[in-house]
Structure 1
Amino acid sequence: MVEIFSKQDGPRREDAQVRRLIEQNRGVITKLADHFSGGLYSESKKPKIGPQAEGLIIHIGGTAPVHAPEPKIRVTANGRVIAVDVGTGRQLHHFGNLRSEDGVTMFALATKANGFIAPLDDTMAEALSDMNDVPVGASYGTADLAADIGLRLSIPPET
């Protein structure tokens, strides 16, 4: 004997009974969920308010606000000598690195000869050419190095 089961349209009788039971006891279920979650269940069901634009500057697409860059010379904690824009904090130029060899720290100008992938342009490299391999230490510190580079390029050092 073979029994043929055909697919029934709509929800099964058991599913309809369970849905009806849940809907009839929705209040008790919500109270229990809030009790177990410390009120977070009902809080999660409330509509979320998105961030308000009051007092904020929102920039969507297009070009960034234009301002004239104000460069300053900075020697970073990891020994990079760079020019940064004060307004944005972006790096404008990389002049070179401080390198230590045999206990002596020297300034290495960013040139191909010193192994830099992106060397300085010719005008800056020429203006700073005599700064290559200058020892930096107690008598001539990083602030002095930044000031000398700034004088040669008319860029003030960062204070």
Structure 2
Amino acid sequence: MIDIVSKRSGPRPEDERARKVIEANRPVIDKLADHLTNGAWSARRNAPAKTGPEPEGLIIHTARATARSEPPRPFVRIAVNGRVSLVDLDTGRQMHHLGDIRRRDGITSFRLATRENGFFSPVEPEIAEAIADLDGQALEGPEAERGLTEAIGARLRL
């Protein structure tokens, strides 16, 4: 047996009853909403309508212009997730992804971003050539990451 349910025109009777109960108790609901939001409920409803778009001729300044006049000042940064990057000191933007610090078989080491190491976007060849001897270097001790950043910076002449 198949029951065919079709949509009727107009709201369902139970929806209509619920709407009437809500409308009948609207003053109490508004009072509770004001109490819970410290008056923000009524303030939001009574706020003046927003005006149209911003007036023409305003000059809005951002923190930094899009065109840079000075050259980038790179430094090596190791992120919390182990990502080793070359970053601009002024903007904090990543210039190059150099590799990752990975842990395998209980040994933490630096892995250079190359296709052989499983990276989809390898580091540029001249950078890879300069820091290739650091690939697979074990990092031991509390100052190992600092030593790695100094070694990469020295090889890239930063």
TM superposition score category, shorter chain reference = 0.5 to 0.7
Instruction: Report the Cα distance in structure 2 between the residues aligned to 1:42 and 1:133, rounded to whole angstroms.
Output: 62
Matched, 1:89 2:92: yes
Number of the residue aligned with 1:135: 138
Instruction: Report the Cα distance in structure 1 between the residues aligned to 2:80 and 2:123, rounded to whole angstroms.
Output: 21
Taking every aligned residue pair, what percent have the same amino acid on both sides? 32
Instruction: Report the Cα distance in structure 1 between the residues aligned to 2:146 and 2:89, rounded to whole angstroms.
Output: 17
Q: Which secondary structure state, in structure 2, belongs to the residue aligned with residue 134 of structure 1? A: coil
Number of the residue aligned with 1:106: 109
Deviation of 1:107 after TM superposition, in Å, equals 0.4
Long gaps (5+) in structure 1: 1-31
The structure number with the bigger radius of gyration is 1
TM-score (norm 1): 0.62
Instruction: Report the Cα distance in structure 2 between the residues aligned to 1:101 and 1:154, rounded to whole angstroms.
Output: 30
Letter in 2 for 1:133: G
Long gaps (5+) in structure 2: 1-26
Number of the residue aligned with 1:57: 61
Instruction: Report the Cα distance in structure 2 between the residues aligned to 1:69 and 1:105, rounded to whole angstroms.
Output: 31
Deviation of 1:69 after TM superposition, in Å, equals 0.9
Number of the residue aligned with 2:68: 66
Letter in 2 for 1:154: R
Instruction: Report the Cα distance in structure 1 between the residues aligned to 2:83 and 2:44, rounded to whole angstroms.
Output: 52
Of 148, 151, 154, which residue of structure 2 is paired with 1:148?
Answer: 151
RMSD: 3.3
Query: Which deviations, in whole Å up to 9, do the C-alpha atoms of 1:96-154 show, x marking residues without a partner?
Result: 10110111101001111101111111111111111110001207610100000000001
Q: Which secondary structure state, in structure 2, belongs to the residue aligned with residue 142 of structure 1? A: helix
Letter in 1 for 2:85: I
TM-score (norm 2): 0.62
Number of the residue aligned with 1:28: none
Deviation of 1:49 after TM superposition, in Å, equals 10
Q: Which secondary structure state, in structure 1, belongs to the residue aligned with residue 116 of structure 2? A: helix
Matched, 1:119 2:122: yes
Q: Which secondary structure state, in structure 2, belongs to the residue aligned with residue 113 of structure 1? A: coil
Instruction: Report the Cα distance in structure 2 between the residues aligned to 1:41 and 1:125, rounded to whole angstroms.
Output: 58
